[in-house]
Amino acid sequence: MTNSRLISFVLLGPVLSLTLACAVLSGRGPGLQDQPVEVPERESKIPAGAVKMSPENDEHPPSLDLGGEYEAPIPLPGFVNTAGLEDSPFITPDGNTLYFFFTPDANVPAEKQILDGVTGIYVSHKTAGKWDKPQRVVLQDPGKLSLDGCAFVQGDVMWFCTLREGYAGLQWFTARYEAGLWKDWAPANFKPAYEVGELHITSDGSELYFGSSRPGGKGALDIWVSKNVAGEWQEPLNVSALNTADSEGWPAVSPDGSELWFYRNFAIWRSISKGGEWQPAEQVISSLAGEPSVDADGNLYFVHHYYIDGKMIEADIYVAYRKAGK
């Protein structure tokens, strides 16, 4: 999710807790879904007058600032993007599965999104080179409410941020994939004092990178790293080589561990590791671009927000393909 959307999750925690407490509850125990849950078509909740933006009518199109390595960024082909808001992409290393957050109207507050039946995490698979129709990832028991986002997937485990009944404020949860369903959702083992924001875990599971406004940073939001020692996440360290007085966040480490991508000042930046140290970052994509995610071929997926006269209209998932041999 974008910075403003994640902050809204946090600020609306008390409001949503009250909403959830007043909801009519039903269903079974936590994380015990074993049957597919029917959800409305997400397009059915997009306002009738919604404008589908495109590069042709975009006042601030994303631009490539690092020439030579990438093709020009384009909206993701296929069935992912709509006139609603597609956000927070996560691409699996093989480049064949995309998770993202969707809400039908960018102007609807979170306490109403949680009631619309379609806002949440979705997944699309690439078949024969084409992205198929996304499906909702259900991470709550029937009859119970939750607002889920920030998906990160490694193997058969998903980490996601959530506001849900029975818990106060924003939480990090995990879920396990088995027999075609996500199940066994439960709180993640992050210490509250770490203040973990949107995250990425390295392919070998040894490091957790995340954005946070926790004390000790250089700016309003910094990138931090926590080491995994015997299954326990250690006290986070500030990634000082990347952080500035501005805000840095939404980190994504390439599958081979050689690149760290992140958001700063409405643009996407990249740092390259040399000798185990992150080098000064360079700007790659600018103009209302954020939340990068990279597959094993180096293709860059990100969210682009469309604005007209200073008002957000919608958001789409974009991709910049890495040129062969670069």
Tokens of 177: 């994939």
The CATH code of the domain that includes 256 is 2.120.10
Per-residue pLDDT, 23: 38
Tokens of 180: 């075609």
Separation between Cα atoms, residue 300 and residue 316, nearest integer Å: 14
**CA nearest to 161, candidates 127, 222, 211:** 211
Check: CB of residue 126 under 8 Å from CB of residue 72. no
**CA nearest to 119, candidates 97, 100, 133:** 100
Per-residue pLDDT, 151: 98
Classify residue 326: in a domain, yes or no.
no
Classify residue 256: in a domain, yes or no.
yes
Going by pLDDT thresholds of 50, 70 and 90, the confidence category of residue 320 is very high
**CA nearest to 73, candidates 284, 310, 311, 283:** 284
**High-pLDDT (> 90) share of the chain, %:** 79
Parent domain of 270? 3-23+52-320
Average the pLDDT over 45-50 and give the result: 95
Average pLDDT of the chain is 89
Average the pLDDT over 250-276 and give the result: 97
Classify residue 47: in a domain, yes or no.
no
Per-residue pLDDT, 34: 54
Q: Classify 284 in phi/psi space as left (phi over 0), alpha (psi -120 to 50) or beta.
A: alpha
pLDDT above 50 for 29: no
Classify residue 124: in a domain, yes or no.
yes
Question: Could you give phi then psi for residue 112, rounded to 5 degrees?
Answer: -100, -30
Q: Report CA dihedral (149, 302, 7, 125) to the nearest 10 degrees.
A: -10
Per-residue pLDDT, 298: 97
- State the DSSP code for 57: G
**High-pLDDT (> 70) share of the chain, %:** 89
Per-residue pLDDT, 6: 47
Tokens of 324: 């062969």
- 45-63 as b/e: b if 16+ CB within 10 A: bbeeebeebeeeebeebbe
Going by pLDDT thresholds of 50, 70 and 90, the confidence category of residue 30 is very low
Classify residue 56: in a domain, yes or no.
yes
Separation between Cα atoms, residue 214 and residue 54, nearest integer Å: 37
Overall domain count for the chain: 1
pLDDT above 90 for 12: no
Per-residue pLDDT, 1: 52
Classify residue 149: in a domain, yes or no.
yes
Classify residue 39: in a domain, yes or no.
no
Average the pLDDT over 179-185 and give the result: 95
Classify residue 158: in a domain, yes or no.
yes
Check: CB of residue 63 under 8 Å from CB of residue 81. no
Residue 282 parent element (H or E):
strand 282-286
Separation between Cα atoms, residue 240 and residue 238, nearest integer Å: 5
Tokens of 192: 């509250």
Check: CB of residue 176 under 8 Å from CB of residue 156. yes
Per 3-state DSSP, the chain is made up of helix, strand and coil in percentages (nearest 5) of 10, 40, 50
Tokens of 270: 């990249």
